[in-house]
């Protein structure tokens, strides 16, 4: 008889957390639909994260490639200017040689 006076372990659905149930009932989606939506969002997030990492790697690679090209451009510019000086010296030497040949003693 003592057992019959104790409250049941499982209460009826309406008596359990009535406030939360009211909120769920007022929601436009059912709990299942909400769970499905959450799973879709999680899957989208899982798809997007590798793309972000790929883009970050791509940006890093492009920065490194740009830096490498800038260094190469700088080296080529130095070589070009140095070669230009050599060409001017060669032209000057050629003119001096022609002038010596044309010089009458």
Containing 6, the helix (H) or strand (E) segment is none
How much is the pLDDT for 31? 78
- In the chain, domain spans: 15-95
Q: Compute and round to an integer the Cα radius of gyration of the chain.
A: 42
Cβ neighbours, 10 Å, residue 59: 10
Angstrom distance (rounded) from CA 43 to CA 62: 29
Residue whose entry in the numeric block shows the structure tokens 């690679």: 61
How much is the pLDDT for 33? 84
Residue whose entry in the numeric block shows the structure tokens 């130095």: 78
How much is the pLDDT for 101? 81
> Which is more confident, 16 or 78?
78
pTM of the model: 0.47
Q: Give 31-80 pLDDT, tens digit per residue.
A: 788 888 899 999 999 999 999 999 999 999 999 999 999 999 999 999 99
Using alpha carbons, list the distances in angstroms from residue 59 to 17, 54, 62, 64, 91: 51, 9, 5, 9, 47
CB 13 within 8 A of CB 21: yes
């Amino acid at each position: 008889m003592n057992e019959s006076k104790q409250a049941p372990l499982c209460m009826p659905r309406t008596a359990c957390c009535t406030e939360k149930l009211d909120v769920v009932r007022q929601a436009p989606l059912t709990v299942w639909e909400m769970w499905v939506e959450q799973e879709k969002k999680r899957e989208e997030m899982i798809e997007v994260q590798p793309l972000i990492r790929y883009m970050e790697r791509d940006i890093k690679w492009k920065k490194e490639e740009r830096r490498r090209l800038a260094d190469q451009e700088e080296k080529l510019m130095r070589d070009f200017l140095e070669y230009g000086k050599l060409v001017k010296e060669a032209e000057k030497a050629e003119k001096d040689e022609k002038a010596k040949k044309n010089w009458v003693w």
